[in-house]
Amino acid sequence: MTRRVVITGLGIVSPIGIGLDVFWEAVQAETCGIAQVTRFDASNLTCRVAGEVKNYDGENFFDRRTVQRSALFAQFAMIAGKEAWQDAGLDKFTFDDPDRCGILLGNGVGGLEIDDESHRRLYEKGASKILAMTIPKMICNEAAGNLSIYLGVRGSAHVIVTACASGCDAIGFALDRIRCDRADVMICGGTESAITEYGIGGFCQLKAVSTSFNDAPSRASRPFDKDRDGFVLGEGAGILVIEELEHAKKRGAKIYAELAGYGASEDAYHITAPSPDGEGGTRAIRAALKDAGLRATDIDYINAHGTSTPTNDPVETAAIKTAFGEHAYKLAVSSTKGMTGHTLGAAGGIEAVITALAIKDNFFPATINLDEPDPLCDLDYVPNKGRKGTINAAISLSLGFGGHNSVIVIKKY
């Protein structure tokens, strides 16, 4: 018999707020967290806007030594992870077997600001001036490593790197770990901080980011809109505590929703572009629905990848229409990246948090800045204003560079 898995804790760091209550209020208010870059002088870049975590100071959350020894992406994971841990009531719970609680996070590029600064030092001053903690601060696994130390979690701790699908894949892998009886509780999701001159500059060279709204940053991320011209880089972390159902019930945990299914596929087509017909995304959706034991008609809401790039949005729309048939026109689809920007490896985690809260509160989040839909994007994208409505089951969809497609299914418990 398959072990059922439920969501018992949530934590968030984002451009529209740190902490669950502040964040969810901002989502419901259609708040945009995108503004002009403040972290460095971006005047020489073609894209000068981003979704920064506002007024962030690590010493408001950690002692100075911890701040000095951890990159931003790891700090974000620790803040969101601690919130999810406490939200689940695990700070007051003693495990009979500590090895039955593990960590599985998604991340795309690691400590990019550390890499950036150390390369500057290397080329300007020589190798002897590279920051002493460069390697342990920049490598992707340090998010899980730091979080395990911070919370005292002794089970397995891993990081998944599948570009923008990383956070969603991490949740799916964590689900499988509990189902396979290798854990009872998993802390999972995604974290990322890549807003550096190197990071944005690299995406500028790929012509992947928005360049037309530098003077109107709140309008720059506009998923499914005909005037979209690229994504806007964001940052943050979205972390879930997921738990075997009987374990959660035994300790009296509150339950947000059930994590019911996971599906993944590979386009095998191109290193950055999705397969034009969206068939890879379709296969991932179908696999997730099958894993959850649900029909396409059971789904009420999709939190789409919706990057605001010319290529992604119509391809993702095509994937949804193929997977859901006529039902695609009866469900709500939205991209919350208009508010947060594209947080890369954190996106799947942040959007899973949103999806769980959407189900809990029966609220369809809006796709902001959707003023005139692309004719190829003809579904109900909940334009500009969120709305109430029954959500019994939903999917969160993530697509990554390299052709990675990842889908999780969340349903009412």
Task: Judge residue 153's burial from the number of C-beta atoms within 10 Å of its C-beta, 0-12 exposed, 13-18 middle, 19 or more buried.
Answer: buried
Residue of 101, 168, 247, 342 with catalytic role: 342
Using DSSP's 3-state secondary structure scheme, residue 48 falls into coil
Phi, psi of 130 (to 5 degrees): -65, 140
Q: Is 164 a catalytic residue?
A: yes
Q: Which residue has the tokens 């949005």?
A: 313
Residues 6+ apart with CB under 8 A from 302: 320, 331, 332, 333, 334, 394, 395, 396, 397
* Integer Cα distance of 97 and 310 in angstroms: 49
Closest CA to 346 of 309, 310, 302, 400: 400
Residue of 47, 305, 377, 404 with catalytic role: 305
* Integer Cα distance of 287 and 281 in angstroms: 10
Q: Is 188 a catalytic residue?
A: no
Q: Is 342 a catalytic residue?
A: yes
Residue of 101, 164, 168, 188 with catalytic role: 164
DSSP codes of every residue in 287-338: HHHHHHT--GGG--EEE------TTHHHHHHHHHHHHHGGGGGTSEEE-THH
Q: Which residues are catalytic?
A: 164, 305, 342
